């Protein structure tokens, strides 16, 4: 068998199945299945109000955390926390937890959004 015949046979053996079965892809689309690794990652990464597990805070759910406890050696620097009862941000000297912000506008930005209240009706108030 010469090279030309072999090359022609190789090309046709790859093109013929595509021509014959190419239209089946439109009639039978494949089902999209969710990525299982992402599902496991979400289940294995719980959040905690103290921000230690997994060392990050997820908002707006962390706005439900209680007022951070003020400790003896906390700085005199003012921080802000979100109060679910009043629906506003208040000052504190504590630096701990996820419900703790450096500025009032940051506190309001993360916790006092009307859109989030619509999306998470029972979780924020």
Q: What is the pLDDT of residues 85-112, one digit of tens each?
A: 888 888 888 777 888 888 888 888 888 7
Q: Would you say residue 1 lies in a domain? A: no
Six-digit token string for 125: 């108030």
Sequence-separated (6 or more) residues with CB below 8 Å from residue 48:
98
DSSP β-bridge partners for residue 92: 79
Higher-confidence residue of 32 and 14: namely 14
Q: What is the pLDDT of residues 7-18, one digit of tens each?
A: 888 888 877 776
- The CATH number of whichever domain residue 66 belongs to comes to 4.10.410.10
Q: Would you say residue 9 lies in a domain? A: no
Distance between CA atoms of 15 and 17, rounded to whole angstroms? 6
Kindly write down the DSSP assignment for every residue of 77-95, as one continuous string.
S-EEEEETTTTEEEEES--
Q: Would you say residue 16 lies in a domain? A: no
Q: Would you say residue 82 lies in a domain? A: yes
Provide the residue range defining the domain that includes 92.
37-124
Q: How many beta carbons lie within 10 A of that of residue 48, not counting itself?
A: 15
Q: What is the pLDDT of residues 33-76, one digit of tens each?
A: 666 655 554 444 456 676 555 557 777 778 888 887 776 655 66
Count: domains in the chain: 1
């Amino acid at each position: 068998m010469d090279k030309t015949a072999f090359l022609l046979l190789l090309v046709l053996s790859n093109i013929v199945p595509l021509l014959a079965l190419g239209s089946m892809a439109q009639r039978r689309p494949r089902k999209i299945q969710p990525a299982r690794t992402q599902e496991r990652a979400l289940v294995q990464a719980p959040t905690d109000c103290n921000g230690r597990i997994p060392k990050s805070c997820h908002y707006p759910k962390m706005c439900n955390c209680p007022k951070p406890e003020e400790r003896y050696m906390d700085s005199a620097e003012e921080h802000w926390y979100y109060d679910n009862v009043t629906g506003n941000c208040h000052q504190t000297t504590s630096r701990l937890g996820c419900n703790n912000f450096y500025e009032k506008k940051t506190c309001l930005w993360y916790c006092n959004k009307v859109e989030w209240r619509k999306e998470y009706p029972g979780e924020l108030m």
